[in-house]
Each structure stands twice: as structure tokens, then as C-alpha cells.
Amino acid sequence: MHTSDHWENVYRQKSFDAVSWYAPHLGESLRLIQELCPDATASIIDIGGGESTLVDDLLHRQYVDVSVLDISSTAIDFTRQRLGPLAQDRPMLNWFDVL
């Protein structure tokens, strides 16, 4: 089984909040980003973003150049759908699955 197949299965079979690494908000990551990069126009990439809510919190804080990268297209699609209107009209919100 290819590594990407494993992660596709995880995200297809488990609810986003049923995985061991789930947290409703990534407070420490968000705090560090805001402390080290307070300029909301800076480019930020969430590597291994999966179904994380970090992108949601960054958009709510008016960061404009945000990218999410993950090995799972299922996770990327889920996060896009979850964001719904929050992600619309964001020309610098980018999504990358590495498959």
C-alpha cells in the first residue's frame, strides 16, 4: 500500500474529530504564527494540513495568502467544503494535494 493510500483511507473512514490528533483549534500554532508573523499579508503554508482548522482560524484573523498542503485529496476536499463561504473570493487561498 502506498503511503497516500493509507491517508486516503484514514480520512475516508474516520470522522474529522475521531482521529487521535484532532483539536478544535490549534491554539499554540496560531499563537506562534501571530507572534512571529503578525503581517496578515505574509504567505503561510500549512504542511500536512489535512482536515485541520488552522486555515479557518487564519482566515478569520484576516490572513490573505494561505496555502494548505496534504497528501490526501480527501482531506483537502473536506476542508474546502467545511470552509464554504469563508473560502470564497479568496484569490490567495491555495490547496495542494501531493498525489
Percent of the chain with pLDDT over 90: 64
Q: Taking the chain, what is the end-to-end CA distance rounded to the nearest angstrom?
A: 14
**pLDDT band, very low/low/confident/very high, at 99 (cuts 50, 70, 90):** low
Q: pLDDT of 54-85, one tens digit each? A: 999 999 999 999 999 999 999 999 999 999 99
The predicted model scores a pTM of: 0.85
Average pLDDT over every residue of 24-44: 95
Is pLDDT of 10 > 90?
Answer: no
Is pLDDT of 13 > 70?
Answer: yes
What is the pLDDT of the chain when averaged over all its residues?
A: 89
Is pLDDT of 45 > 80?
Answer: yes
Give me the CATH topology for the region 3-97.
Rossmann fold (3.40.50)
C-alpha cell at 66: 494561505
